Structure 1
Amino acid sequence: MNNWVTPARGEGADKPSDPLGLPEKTEQSKWKAELSLGLAHTKRGSVLNACRHQGPLYVQKAFYPEGRDLAHLYLLHPPGGMVSGDDLRINVTMAQAARALITTPGAGRVYKARADKTLQTQHIQLRLEPNSSVEWLPLENIIYPGAHTRLHTDIHLDVGSTFIGWEISCFGLHASQQPFDQGQIEQRLQVFSQGRLKIREALSLNPEQHNFMQSRAGLAGHSVNGLLIAGPLSKTHDTDTLLSALQAQCEALNQTDSQSQKALSAVSINDEFIQLRYLGDCSEQARLLFIRCWTLLRPALIQREACEPRIWAT
C-alpha cells in the first residue's frame, strides 16, 4: 500500500531494537489493516456511502474537482510502508452507475523483511456493478532489497462497467545502486468480466534462485516494470485510432537518445482489453507515459477529458 508519512518504523525494521541485541518482537511491529469502501450513484452524484477501516488505512473524504458525477479518493497509509507480518486489504465496491478515480499521495514501500522472512502481504479487490467505472491510478510501489512480499489485485467487472488502471513496480533502489538481488516477490493481477477470467498477469521474482531480473527474456537488467490495463472495449469504440495514438506515445519513449532514460514500451489488445507495458529504470518516466496514455483512453472509455488529481501536483 502507498504512504502518507514515513515514521522511523520502516527501513530499519529488520534490525534489533533491544540494546542487548535481542530480536524485536514480531507483534510489536506488524499491522493488519483493512479498508472497505462503497460508492453509490445518487441524486447528489457519486458519493462515498460506506467507509469502514481497521488499522492505519483510510480515506479522509471524497473530492470533486470535475463535478459530482465522479469522486476522487486518496488512499492514506500513515506508516509509510510494509514490514514483516503486515497484511493490508483494500476492498472497493462500486454500485450501479457510480464513478471514481482512486490514487495515492505517495509511493508505496515494501521494506526489507526480518531474518524470519515473514511475508508482507497486500490484497486489493475492486468490484464494479453494471455501468460503473473505476480508475485505479496509484503511484509506484518500491520493493526494497530483501523484501518478501505478496501483492495481489483482483478486478471484478459487470455489464457495462469500465476499468482503467496501472501498476508500477520498482525493484530495489536504483538511484542508490542497491539492486533487488535478494528477497522474493509474488505479484498477481486478475481481471474478471461477469465472473469469467479475462486477464491474469503474474510475476514471481527470487533473484537468489534464478536470473530472471537479468535475463533478456525477463527484465533484462531493468529495475522498473509497469503495466496499464483499460477496458473492456466494444464495437462502438474506434479501436484502430486509439491504438495508433497509444503506439505513437510508446514509440516516442522508445526512441529517446538519453542512455540513462533508455526504456521499452509497447501496447497490445488482449480480447477486449488494452494492455500497455513499460520496462526501464525510472518510475517517473513510466508514470508520465501512463498519464499521457490515460488522457487518450479516458475520453474513449468513460467519455471524460483527463482531470489529474490535485495531489499529484503537490
Structure 2
Amino acid sequence: MARDAGNNTTEPRVDGNHSDILETTEIAPASHWAAFLRLKFANTSRGVRLVEKEHKGPLYIQKPFYPEGVAVPHAYLLHPPGGLVSGDHLNIHVQVEPHAHTLVTTPGAGRMYRAREDESPQEQSATLEIAEGGVVEWLPLEAILFPGAHAKATNRIFLAEQAKVIFWDVVCLGLPANGLTFDRGSFNQNLMIYRNDRLMLQERLVLNDDSRDFLQASIGFQQHPIQGLMVAGPFLDDTNTLVDELRNLVGASNALVGVTRVSDFIVVRSLGDCSEQVRESLTQLWSPIRKTLLGREGCPPRIWNT
C-alpha cells in the first residue's frame, strides 16, 4: 500500500501538448473494449459550448445541460456497457479553453468487474487540460470494484495560470450490500495535478495482496469499504476560515471526513459504508468550496436526483 500527498518539486517537467497522452490508446482484441473520448469546451458568443468532440468505441457524451445558464455547461459522460472487464481501457481527454468552465459527471455508477484468469487489468485514464482562467469540475458518480478486479485509474490534471479544478472520486471496494468484500484483486489509483507543467500535488493508492490489511487498519480504511476523495484549488489566499467552516459542517454531520490543506489545494477524504452517504458528504462540502473558489453557489447536476 502507498498513499502519498503533497508537493513534489523533483518530478520531471512535463512539456508539450498533453494530447499525446490520449494517443497511447491502442485497439484491443475483439473481446476487449478500447475506447476514447476527446472534448473541447470554449467561450463563444452563445456562452460556453462544446466546440469539438471525438470518440472511438462505446464512450460518448450527452448533449450538455445548462441549469446555471450559458456560462457553465453540465456534461454527462456515457459508457453504455456500464463496466470494464479485463483488457478494457477507457481514455478521456477534456480540454477547456481560456476562461471557459464546465462540470463533468456521469449518470450512474461505473463498475470494474472480476478479472479474467490472466488477470489483465481494466483501466480508465482521464486527462483534464485547463487553459488560463478556465475551470473544470470533475464529479463522477462512484466506481464499484468487484472482488477479483485488477483495476487501474489514472487522472492527470494540467492547470495553466489562474486555472482551477474541483475533482472528486468515490470508490466502493467490493459489494457491501451483498456482503462481498474486496478480498482479492488489486487497485492502483493515481491523481497528479500539474500547474504550468510542474507537479504540485499527487495522491496515490495501491491495494493488492501485500496491502490487504490496510482495509482494516486504523490508519487505513478502518473496515469501511467506501472511500471518497475531493481536491479543489489552487487557493492563492488564506483558507483558514473556509477550512474551519468545512470542519464544522463535518462535525455537525457525524460523517467520517477529514479536511486538510495541501500546498495550494484543499483535500477532503471520506470513509463510509454506503456510497450515497459518502457522496452526500462530499456534496455538502463541495458547495462552500465552490462558492469560495469559483464564486458560484452549489448546483448539483439534475441527473443525481434520478
- Letter of the aligned partner of 1:225 in structure 2? Q
Map of 1:77 onto structure 2: 79
Give, in whole Å, the separation in 2 of the partners of 1:49 and 1:134. Answer: 15
Deviation at 1:252, TM superposition (A): 2.4
**Which of 282, 291, 299 is the matching residue for 1:299?**
291
- Letter of the aligned partner of 1:187 in structure 2? Q
Map of 1:247 onto structure 2: 247
Q: Indicate if the aligned counterparts of 1:182 and 1:208 stay in contact, CA closer than 8 A.
A: no
Asked if 1:45 corresponds to 2:27, the answer is no
Deviation at 1:215, TM superposition (A): 1.9
Give, in whole Å, the separation in 1 of the partners of 2:133 and 2:211. Answer: 45
Map of 2:107 onto structure 1: 105
Deviation by residue 1:4-35 (Cα, 9 ceiling, x = unmatched)? xxxxxxxxxxxxxxxxxxxxxx9443100000
The alignment's C-alpha RMSD in Å is: 1.3
Deviation at 1:209, TM superposition (A): 5.9
* Deviates most, 268-277 or 296-305: 296-305
* Deviates most, 216-225 or 195-204: 216-225
Q: Indicate if the aligned counterparts of 2:183 and 2:212 stay in contact, CA closer than 8 A.
A: no
Deviation at 1:197, TM superposition (A): 0.8
* Deviates most, 245-254 or 130-139: 245-254
Deviation by residue 1:148-203 (Cα, 9 ceiling, x = unmatched)? 11110011111111101100111000111100000011110111111111111111
- Letter of the aligned partner of 2:247 in structure 1? Q
Give, in whole Å, the separation in 1 of the partners of 2:31 and 2:78. Answer: 19
**Which of 219, 225, 228 is the matching residue for 2:227?**
225
Match runs of 1:1-314 below 5 Å: 27-207=29-209, 210-235=212-237, 239-254=239-254, 264-314=256-306
- Letter of the aligned partner of 1:278 in structure 2? S
- Letter of the aligned partner of 1:245 in structure 2? E
Larger radius of gyration: 1
Map of 1:5 onto structure 2: none
- Letter of the aligned partner of 2:278 in structure 1? A
Give, in whole Å, the separation in 1 of the partners of 2:127 and 2:114. Answer: 25
Give, in whole Å, the separation in 2 of the partners of 1:183 and 1:30. Answer: 19
Deviation at 1:241, TM superposition (A): 2.0
CA spacing shift, 1:285–1:219, aligned 2, 3 Å: same
Give, in whole Å, the separation in 2 of the partners of 1:148 and 1:187. Answer: 11
Deviation at 1:208, TM superposition (A): 6.2
* Aligned length, in residue pairs: 279
Deviation at 1:60, TM superposition (A): 2.4
Look up the SS of the partner of 2:87 in the other structure. Answer: coil
Deviation at 1:239, TM superposition (A): 1.7
- TM-score, with length taken from structure 1: 0.86
- Letter of the aligned partner of 1:88 in structure 2? L
Give, in whole Å, the separation in 2 of the partners of 1:209 and 1:45. Answer: 48
Deviation by residue 1:72-95 (Cα, 9 ceiling, x = unmatched)? 100000001000110100000000
Task: Give 4+ residue runs of structure 1 displaced > 4 Å after superposition.
Answer: none
Give, in whole Å, the separation in 2 of the partners of 1:264 and 1:292. Answer: 13
- Letter of the aligned partner of 2:71 in structure 1? D
Give, in whole Å, the separation in 1 of the partners of 2:155 and 2:236. Answer: 24
Deviation at 1:217, TM superposition (A): 2.4
Deviation by residue 1:211-254 (Cα, 9 ceiling, x = unmatched)? 2222222222210111111101122xx62221111101222233
Structure 2: unaligned runs, 5 residues or longer: 1-27
Look up the SS of the partner of 1:105 in the other structure. Answer: coil
Query: Higher RCO, 1 or 2 (CA under 8 Å, sep at least 6)?
Result: 2
Give, in whole Å, the separation in 1 of the partners of 2:51 and 2:305. Answer: 27
- Letter of the aligned partner of 2:244 in structure 1? S
Look up the SS of the partner of 1:29 in the other structure. Answer: coil
Look up the SS of the partner of 1:75 in the other structure. Answer: strand
